[in-house]
Amino acid sequence: MCGRFTIAPEIDFHERFGIPGGPAIPPRYNVAPGQEVPVIVRGERNRLVPMVWGFIPPFPKGPGAGHPLINARAETLLSKPAFRDAVRGDRCLVPASRFYEWRRAGARRVPFHIRLKNGGVFSFAGFYGTRRDPVRGEIPAFTIITTEPNRVVAPLHDRMPAILPRGKEESWIRAGPVGTADLRGFLAPYPEEEMEAFPVSARVNDPRSEGPDLIRPLPGVEKQVFLPPGD
């Protein structure tokens, strides 16, 4: 799954995503479900829309009905009514620079941040709809799609967020239906050779924690990249 991520926009963030210039986006180092972040959608042109993390299907059924969904499995997007309509028409890019996963070490769970080796901003594949806020009424909300993990993420979790190759971002948010074969092309595990992971401070466990210290490798492991089994 993906339950926490960071977004630290670079100087060319708007140009990177084909968005008309706008105000600088403040960095966030511990985005958690229920919080609001900028998400990219397509109209006549790409635009940034503040959205809350946690989509609620319009016609929820079964256990957990009515609860915000922060993740959706790539393999069931077109078979579950809760996701199907949004995936066919309301797809989005969720900009990020890192995400977190946890590894069990005895009684403790050690957080790791996972990033691209080039340190750049990337985008999760997502879809969006609305949810009702008791104060603001109907507000836009999004879900991050997950896929099978690559060998960097697999030691930490059995799922990983679907990171879109840069060349496929515009196709993902372009209006129009997608089929099963299309989804396989978009939502494959990101190439492991382009990613790395480091253990970081347990402060990230508290969603109220913020600041660049959350992504610093633990003391003594600055140069120790977390390697998957077999390396």
**Whether the Cβ atoms of residue 116 and residue 197 lie closer than 8 Å to each other:** no
Q: What ranges in 22-104 are assigned the alpha helix state H?
A: 81-89
C-alpha distances in angstroms, 44 versus 18, 36, 101, 181?
12, 24, 36, 26
d(CA 140, CA 130): 4
Cα first-last separation, the chain: 24
Other Cβ atoms closer than 10 A to 3: 18
In angstroms, the CA 10 to CA 226 distance is 25
Q: Are the C-beta atoms of 111 and 221 separated by less than 8 Å?
A: no
Catalytic residue (choose from 10, 44, 75, 101): 101
* Residue 2 appears among annotated catalytic residues: yes
Q: Tell how far CA 76 is from the center of its chain.
A: 18
What are the catalytic residues?
2, 101
